[in-house]
Amino acid sequence: MTKRLSGILKTTESQLLATGFGFTDGPLWHPEGYWEFADISANRVHSLPPGGAAATLREDSGGSNGRTFDLQARVIACEGESRLVTRRELDGSYTPIAELIGNKRLNRPHDLVCRSDGTIFFSDPQGHLSPKDQELGFSGVHRRRRTPSFRYALSLRQRIRRASPATGASG
Provide the residue range defining the domain that includes 95. Answer: 22-155
Q: What percent of the residues of the chain are helix, what percent strand, and what percent coil, each to the nearest 5?
A: 5, 40, 55
Note whether 92 and 80 are within 8 A (CB): no
What is the C-alpha to C-alpha distance for residues 165 and 125, in angstroms, rounded to an integer? Answer: 9
Q: Please indicate whether residue 39 or residue 158 has the higher confidence score (pLDDT).
A: 39
What is the per-residue pLDDT across 133-160, written as a single tens digit (0 to 9) for each? 999 988 989 988 876 555 556 666 544 4
Secondary structure (H, E, C), 39-86:
ECCCCEEEEECCCCCCEEEECCCCCEEEEEECCCCCEEEEECCCCEEE
Q: 17 lies in a domain?
A: no
Whether 55 is covered by a domain: the verdict is: yes
Q: What is the total count of domains within the chain?
A: 1
> How far is the CA of 37 from the CAs of 26, 114, 145, 146, in angstroms?
5, 18, 25, 25
Q: Are 150 and 96 in contact (CB under 8 A)?
A: yes
DSSP-assigned letter for residue 131: G
Examine residue 127 and state whether it is found in any structural domain, yes or no.
yes
pLDDT over 70 for what percent of the chain?
Answer: 84
Answer whether residue 62 is part of any domain. Answer: yes
pLDDT tens digits for range 7-21 = 777 777 888 889 999
- 166 falls within a domain: no
Please, which residues have CB within 8 angstroms of residue 170's CB and are 6 or more apart in sequence? 159, 160, 161, 162, 164
Q: What is the pTM of this model?
A: 0.81
Q: State the alpha helices, DSSP H only, in the chain.
A: 3-6
In a domain, 89, yes or no: yes
The reply to whether 161 falls in a domain is no
Distance CA 163, CA 77 (A): 18
pLDDT above 60: residue 123: yes
User: CATH number for the domain including 77?
Assistant: 2.120.10.30
Residue 91 has what DSSP assignment? T
The answer to the question of residue 162 being in a domain is: no
